[in-house]
Amino acid sequence: MNLSNIVPPTHFVQFNLSDIVNTLGEDETKRILSSFSCPLNLDVENFLKTKAIEFSKRGFSKTHLVYWETSDEKEKEFVGYYTIASKFITIQRSAINSKEARKLREHGIYNEKTNEYTVSAPLIGQLGKNYTNGNNSLISGSDLLQLAIQKIKYVQHEVGGRFVYLECEDQPKLIQFYENNNFKLFGKRELDKDETNINGHYLLQYFAML
Ligand SMILES: CC(C)(COP(=O)(O)OP(=O)(O)OC[C@H]1O[C@@H](n2cnc3c(N)ncnc32)[C@H](O)[C@@H]1OP(=O)(O)O)[C@@H](O)C(=O)NCCC(=O)NCCS
């Protein structure tokens, strides 16, 4: 039996939070965001509920909501989100191989005194599945991450750039997740005083070359 005959095809659709606010207004948008929960990572949940709208408005970062939808559009579920911000990163020469060093030199600046490369790289600042009503089972973390990467590739296709950056807690499952998705560890960053929702006192820094 061909399963596609009984299971309707589905796909993911994405909405920029700024567009949602402009179309539906802030109150209705907050109502949508209140249906997001992420018990595995309260920073991811709290950011969406308390900061994402303000950060989008002020241009600090842009948040994208991801929905799972059947192709007949009869069913639609809020399955996750990601947030991207424009940043630059500084990477020690000792953390990378010669191919990466060549690409970083082409796209950024090399400091001979400190042996560091500085390059512009969009930051995937937040990424999380929506655990409300089991919606997390409708998307894999890799699919969500690929949607964020596709968005960055689209922007870089227009304006240039090859790198993407993210930070995560020192948790074996998260490390495995990002390394399986071709991200490479390049450093550690001490937490700022206001980063109180994060476990530990530092974040691991990862980059990937797109
Ligand atoms: C990270 C994420 C997108 C990966 O999705 P996925 O590849 O489909 O993987 P799963 O959700 O099945 O999780 C895999 C394992 O990692 C664990 N895990 C996920 N996020 C975790 C976290 N923040 N801290 C510790 N463990 C975590 C899960 O409990 C699961 O453990 P198990 O194998 O014992 O069941 C998803 O787990 C998620 O949304 N996590 C919460 C938000 C988050 O931490 N985002 C990363 C911010 S850097």
pLDDT tier at 1 (50, 70, 90 boundaries)?
Answer: low
Q: Which residues contact 71 (CB under 8 A, 6 or more apart)?
A: 8, 9, 10, 11
pLDDT at 6: 64
Q: Per-domain residue ranges for the chain?
A: 3-209
Instruction: Determine the atom of ligand 1 nearest the C-alpha atom of 167.
Output: 48
pLDDT digits (tens, 9 = 90+) for 12-55: 999 999 999 999 999 999 999 999 999 999 999 999 999 999 99
Listed residue (81, 102, 103, 101) closest to 93, CA to CA: 101
Nearest CA to ligand 1 atom 4: 141
Contacts by 100-108 with C-beta closer than 8 Å and gap 24+? 100/184, 100/209, 103/162, 103/163, 103/209, 104/163, 107/161, 107/162, 107/163
- What are the φ and ψ backbone dihedral angles of 83, each rounded to 5 degrees? -130, 135
pTM for this one?
Answer: 0.96
Alpha-carbon distance 51 to 60, whole Å?
Answer: 10
* Cβ < 6 A, ligand 1 pocket: 38, 40-41, 44, 127-129, 140-142, 144, 168, 171, 173-174, 177
Task: Give dist(CA 209, CA 181) in Å, integer.
Answer: 11
The span from the CA of 111 to the CA of 126, in Å, is 30
Q: Which of 43, 45, 173 to mutate to test the pocket of ligand 1 (most atoms within 8 A of CB)?
A: 173
Q: Which CATH architecture has domain 3-209?
A: 3-Layer(aba) Sandwich (3.40)
**Four-residue CA torsion sign, 94, 99, 100, 105:** positive
pLDDT (tens digit, 9 = 90+) per residue, 56-114? 999 999 999 999 999 999 999 999 999 999 999 999 999 999 999 999 999 999 999 99
Closest CA to 182 of 148, 152, 153, 206: 206
Instruction: Please give the Cα distance from 44 to 158 (Å, whole number).
Output: 29
pLDDT-based confidence at 149, cuts 50/70/90? very high
- C-alpha distances in angstroms, 56 versus 50, 61, 64, 71, 192? 12, 5, 10, 29, 21
* Dist. CA 59–CA 72, nearest whole Å: 35
* CA dist., res. 176 & res. 141, Å (int): 12
Residue 196: band (very low, low, confident or very high) from pLDDT cuts 50, 70, 90: confident
Q: Ligand 1: which atom is nearest the Cα of residue 145?
A: 3
Take residue 76 and report the two structure tokens written for it: 């639609």
Q: Which atom of ligand 1 is nearest to the CA of 140?
A: 8
